[in-house]
Amino acid sequence: MKARHPSLAAAASALAASLLLALPAAYAADTGSTSAEPTAAERLDKGRAAIAKKDWRNAISELRSAVRADPGSADAHNLLAYSYRKQAKPELEKAFEHYRAALKIDPKHKGAHEYIGEAYLMNKEPAKAEEHLATLEKICGNKTCEEYADLAKAIGAFKSGKHKPSGADTATKW
């Protein structure tokens, strides 16, 4: 039997073939890519590793990316602030901005309270550091938690004139 419209049959065959060829490509497009950007958690881990090496430039780079990827991460803001404060030329305004962001997200973030207190000492504002020490006492329920003890020690050193303005005398924990 002969087709009534050979050009129509050829067009239908071509369309069917192109659809079959397109299906694997469409499926492959949904399978993901191996060159994806690191996640916020991966950036946070890389930031922590850079902090451990005191590589403040890379820490800031990774942690800024972590904050962009997850602006609701108190830990990312806290560690970014810490890195701004600990570098050779501390950027205290940026540090305060990110400590405040961390505390807005998590008002009971012990590390942020300790570190902003240390930043206030660097800025010669011991009364504000003592406010955060009092807050830590309430959060911890005692005066023996590590963050309280570290900030109390830093305040004591500041008052005795032994506080180092670079913040280098503070612990490098997170």
Return the higher-pLDDT residue of 17 and 154.
Answer: 154
| Sole residue written with tokens 């011991």 | 126
Based on the fold, state whether residues 82 and 113 are members of the same structural domain: no
Q: Which domain, by its residues, includes 120?
A: 107-161
* Other Cβ atoms within 10 Å of 90 Cβ, number: 19
Cα(first)–Cα(last) distance of the chain, in Å? 81
Cβ atoms of 79 and 56 within 8 Å: the answer is no
Based on the fold, state whether residues 85 and 117 are members of the same structural domain: no
Cβ atoms of 94 and 81 within 8 Å: the answer is yes
Cβ atoms of 118 and 82 within 8 Å: the answer is no
Please say which residue of 50, 65, 91 terminates a domain.
91
pLDDT tier for residue 174 given thresholds of 50, 70 and 90: very low
- 149 inside domain: yes
- pTM (2 decimals)? 0.75
- 143 inside domain: yes
pLDDT per residue as tens digits for the range 62-107: 999 999 999 999 999 999 999 999 999 999 999 999 999 999 999 9
Q: Residue 115 carries which DSSP code?
A: H
- 19 inside domain: no
Query: What is the tally of structural domains in the chain?
Result: 2
